[in-house]
Structure 1
Amino acid sequence: MTDASAERDDSVNHVDAGALTALPKAELHLHIEGTLEPELILELAARNGIALPFPTLELLHEQYQFTDLQSFLDLYYANMAVLVTADDFTDMTRAYLRRAKECGVRHAEIMFDPQAHVARGVELATAVNGIAAALATSVADFGISTELIAAFLRDESEGSALEVLEELLAMKAPIIGIGLDSAEVGNPPSKFIRLYKRAAEAGLRLVAHAGEEGPPSYVEDALNLLGVERIDHGIRAVEDRILVKRLVREQTPLTVCPLSNVRLRAVDTLAAHPLPQMISAGLNVCVNSDDPAYFGGYVSANFEALAAEFGWDVATVELLAGNSIRSSFASVARKAELLAELAAWRAAQG
């Protein structure tokens, strides 16, 4: 691939929306609570007798204008109040899987925020079992293989995270790894060294948000201090030339969420997004939706917006989809299946 992927070039055979939807892909950066659509929020509120501060669909939609990460988080956590029973968590997860199937997602690694539920009085087992019930039949029902990652809130204490992790381990929760999310600035990776050491001892995979609003040093610290295998976001890594060289050399996966970055003002516009620069530099990047109910699009919408903005060709989107599959924690056999599907998709493009 050349730098042509970074700019619109009408001489290139661009990919249409239908092909982007059919593109076999993995989604590696997805918060299940961030898939709660306003309609489902109101449905669950009615079901559970919960009075919301924004009781109509129109009023709720009006809240989805964010100035920064914190303004989003305020609404995100408020809306979680409707998740009370295991069935609520199951319904939310199945709703995501249904939409993901429509977007061509073939493998999904789903994060959930256990601390956020425990803090509001929901039993940890209620959240875990509700989500797991949907994931247990994800292949049969939707053709999507899945894994579950427990994401810890970086604006809470490490002690709180360790307590919840120990409870997850004790109950043999079906998690494959841990992550780190929520307010990044002022909550560096160094705050969670013991948490990640304990997770590694338990054989869990390690990922962490870094370099979204936080500086490039947070990416470096997540690698050096926490031992993560994958960086969620990582867009500010481009500000550090030496770090970029390392990430390219080690092919560390970066799970980029473009529409999310624009909606949260991490970048001003999609045209200003560093993803084309990251691709041209040889970074191992893939496209994800983050919290799609809040940021205006699921993963295929992210691909469509990017392809329209940058005039991407088949080779560019194939590379990104391939990166998502290879960077996943799926089995070797599952990766081979998905890469074969991707090759068939590429052949069908002519």
Structure 2
Amino acid sequence: MCKSPLHPFLAELPKCEHHIHLEGCLTPELVFKLAAKNKIELPSPEQDPAYKSPESLAKRYEHFDNLEDFLQYHYRAMRVLVTKEDFEMLGWEYFKSSHADGVQHAEVFFDPQSHTTRGISFDTVVTGYKAACKRAEEELGVTSLLIMCFLRHLPAPAAAETLQQAIDGGYLDVQDEPSAADNGSRVIGALGLDSSEIGFPPELFKEQFLEAEKRGIHRTAHGGEEGDTSYISGAMDSLHVERIDHGIRLIEDPALMRRVAEEGILLTMCPLSNRYLQAVEKISDLPIKTFMETGIKFSINSDDPAYFGGYILNNFCAIQEAFNLSVKDWKIITENSIHCSWVALDVLELAGYLIEAPALPSCVDGKSTPEDDAQLIARRASELVDAGKEVVAIAHSYGGMVASEALSGLGVREREEKGLAGGVKRIIYTAAFVPLPGTSIEKTSPTDSVGWLKYEGDQKAFNWHWETSIGDVFYPDLTGDEQEKYLSRLAFHPKSCSLWEPTAFAYREIDVTYVFCEKDAAAPLVAQQFLAGAIKDAGVQIAEETLPAGHFPFLSMPNEFAEIVIKYA
């Protein structure tokens, strides 16, 4: 516990962890326990006095000369992990401890090569850790994503073999089981690169990372901990990483700092680890303030908590004691941590927003009318605002028609005039149809040449006319596996939805944002611009945002979309 008056605030902050090695959670007590269980011989006290007892080993962990000194103990401890149950136990120990520190979502590293090279099967490692992840979500409400790391000190062909094992086992494939993480429906959602940095540049692993990128797998790499800034730029250029793990030496290259800030690369910083491994002499030497001043995003993490003095809250406290940050500073750090997590809708929930996503009746049974849809949304929105809540409505696609009808009379300003608390403060139209009086979806088309909605006979549903596949129409920015997953859930509206003419227009009384989706082929950009322009011409002021996304930006760009929602919330 730190002495700062902000400690209770830090303890209560919702936390996302992005830099945690599950094998780094092997406490001395657990090392001795599993060694006895699995009959693994540890070094004798004569060989290394640290192994006299769990207490003496813990004492040895209090000082490492450098990264290599730490890795010697780190890899030796891993030998006690043998069965699936061992890996599940280790993962569960992490989730219990981190949950006590306020972690709500964790993206965790594991090193399969450390185990397969000593005869433990790849499946044993992955299924054990995955079982811990599942248990954490079910019992603690902590969501997670597994990041498979390559050991950079091993030859690149070994990384290729490990990647192939993951592919052959189906661990990189999109699964049917839902999860909060956007890649969490894959057993393994991301690739990482760790172990000895100097002498093993990221370029050695280019082929494996580009293969992962093709498959829609997230990518990160350790860099700029011991190695110079070329290890950071090399990971960005060759591996196309979305994050840099550690990255503290970025401070040495102002031009690269600007690039990292501009590209929104997240640094996953580990202050206690940096001090324990002598990367910095003291926590206050970390370039935290410079990174904040230059717009570089970073998260605070625990790295290997069994070795480096504690879990994530200890690291938060170490930063607070060194820099005396303000509540505003911590809000920025926390929001960046949430927004840069590889999670979908939960980004908003982690930021403290209640999410309501009612299923429109017309999408459920194909028989209900647009009026049924509007009545459902009006009823649910009324319940929320009557409870005094301020609501931001996300109106997507056909939902723009429904929101325009259903939310009329529920605006914050109108309710305020009546002395009522709560109300709808904004509608965020997203690649949405926005009605004008006397118009329907069928009547809405910017030009005769667009040809984006056509029907044949009395078909009950839209009959789409495109030369490309329907997957590329709705999900052009998702991989093939992801397209198939979401297409299997796609519900088409009855034709009555396209013929319906709303009679109320909530955008006249409620603030409006329109999110344009540039890659959308279902509602092309020209159509979106036409629809937004029509109500602008009618005197409605619109805040505009643009994403390089397809029809469903909350699937393909969840973090960026969430940032827009939070901006206007």
- Give the alignment's TM-score, normalised by structure 2: 0.57
Aligned to 2:351: 339
Aligned to 1:3: none
Aligned partners of 2:322 and 2:72: how far apart in 1?
30
Residue among 147, 150, 153 paired with 2:151: 153
Aligned to 2:66: 68
> Do residues 271 (structure 1) and 261 (structure 2) align?
no
304-313 vs 127-136, greater mean Cα deviation:
304-313
> Do residues 58 (structure 1) and 55 (structure 2) align?
yes
> Do residues 251 (structure 1) and 264 (structure 2) align?
yes
The aligned runs of 1:125-274 (5 Å cut-off) are 125-173=123-171, 174-274=187-287
Aligned to 2:92: 94
Alpha-carbon shift at residue 15 of structure 1 (Å): 4.9
Task: Encode CA deviations 1:267-326: one digit per residue, 9 max, x unaligned.
Answer: 111121112221122101110111111011211100011111211111111111111111
Residue among 42, 63, 73 paired with 2:32: 42
Alpha-carbon shift at residue 203 of structure 1 (Å): 2.1
- Indicate how the Cα distance of structure 1 residues 34 and 299 shifts in structure 2: closer, same or farther if over 3 A, else same: same
Aligned partners of 1:212 and 1:235: how far apart in 2?
6
Residue among 294, 298, 323 paired with 1:281: 294
Quick one: which amino acid aligns to residue 210 of structure 1? Answer: G
Quick one: which amino acid aligns to residue 275 of structure 1? Answer: I
Aligned to 2:459: none
226-235 vs 42-51, greater mean Cα deviation:
42-51
> Do residues 307 (structure 1) and 320 (structure 2) align?
yes
Aligned partners of 1:218 and 1:15: how far apart in 2?
38
Would the aligned equivalents of 1:25 and 1:322 in 2 still touch at CA under 8 Å? Answer: no
Quick one: which amino acid aligns to residue 145 of structure 1? Answer: T
Aligned partners of 1:252 and 1:284: how far apart in 2?
7
Which structure features the higher share of helix residues? 1
Aligned partners of 2:145 and 2:52: how far apart in 1?
34
Alpha-carbon shift at residue 18 of structure 1 (Å): 2.4
Task: Encode CA deviations 1:166-218: one digit per residue, 9 max, x unaligned.
Answer: 10111122100100000000111111111111211222111111111111111
Aligned partners of 1:162 and 1:201: how far apart in 2?
15
Aligned to 1:9: none
Aligned partners of 1:280 and 1:15: how far apart in 2?
24
Residue among 103, 112, 115 paired with 1:114: 112
| RMSD across aligned positions (CA) | 1.3
Q: How many residues in Structure 1 have an aligned counterpart in Structure 2?
A: 328
Aligned partners of 1:81 and 1:59: how far apart in 2?
19
Structure 1 runs (4+) greater than 4 angstroms displaced: none
Aligned to 2:399: none
Aligned partners of 2:56 and 2:322: how far apart in 1?
31
Aligned partners of 2:110 and 2:353: how far apart in 1?
28
Would the aligned equivalents of 2:28 and 2:55 in 1 still touch at CA under 8 Å? Answer: no
Aligned to 2:12: 22
Task: Encode CA deviations 1:17-69: one digit per residue, 9 max, x unaligned.
Answer: 22212110100011000011111111111111222121511331233120100
Aligned to 1:103: 101
Task: Encode CA deviations 1:62-87: one digit per residue, 9 max, x unaligned.
Answer: 33120100000000000001100000
Aligned partners of 1:325 and 1:118: how far apart in 2?
33
Aligned partners of 2:118 and 2:52: how far apart in 1?
20
Quick one: which amino acid aligns to residue 140 of structure 2? Answer: F
- Give the alignment's TM-score, normalised by structure 1: 0.91
Aligned to 1:346: none
Aligned to 2:304: 291
Task: Encode CA deviations 1:217-238: one digit per residue, 9 max, x unaligned.
Answer: 1111111111111111111111
Task: Encode CA deviations 1:219-270: one digit per residue, 9 max, x unaligned.
Answer: 1111111111111111111100100111111121111111101111111111
Task: Encode CA deviations 1:100-141: one digit per residue, 9 max, x unaligned.
Answer: 111110000011001111011111111111101111122221
Q: Give the SS at the match of 1:206.
A: strand
Aligned to 1:32: 22
Would the aligned equivalents of 1:21 and 1:102 in 2 still touch at CA under 8 Å? Answer: no
Quick one: which amino acid aligns to residue 205 of structure 1? Answer: H
Aligned partners of 2:39 and 2:104: how far apart in 1?
36
Would the aligned equivalents of 1:180 and 1:208 in 2 still touch at CA under 8 Å? Answer: yes
Would the aligned equivalents of 1:15 and 1:312 in 2 still touch at CA under 8 Å? Answer: no
Q: Give the SS at the match of 1:293.
A: coil
Aligned partners of 1:91 and 1:273: how far apart in 2?
34
Q: Give the SS at the match of 1:136.
A: helix
Quick one: which amino acid aligns to residue 293 of structure 2? Answer: S
Would the aligned equivalents of 1:28 and 1:328 in 2 still touch at CA under 8 Å? Answer: yes
Stretches of structure 2 lacking an aligned partner (at least 5 in a row): 44-50, 172-186, 355-569
What percent identity do the matched residue pairs reach?
41
Stretches of structure 1 lacking an aligned partner (at least 5 in a row): 1-13, 343-350
Aligned to 1:8: none
Aligned partners of 1:303 and 1:15: how far apart in 2?
13
Q: Give the SS at the match of 1:43.
A: helix
> Do residues 323 (structure 1) and 336 (structure 2) align?
yes
Q: Give the SS at the match of 2:278.
A: coil
Would the aligned equivalents of 1:289 and 1:299 in 2 still touch at CA under 8 Å? Answer: yes
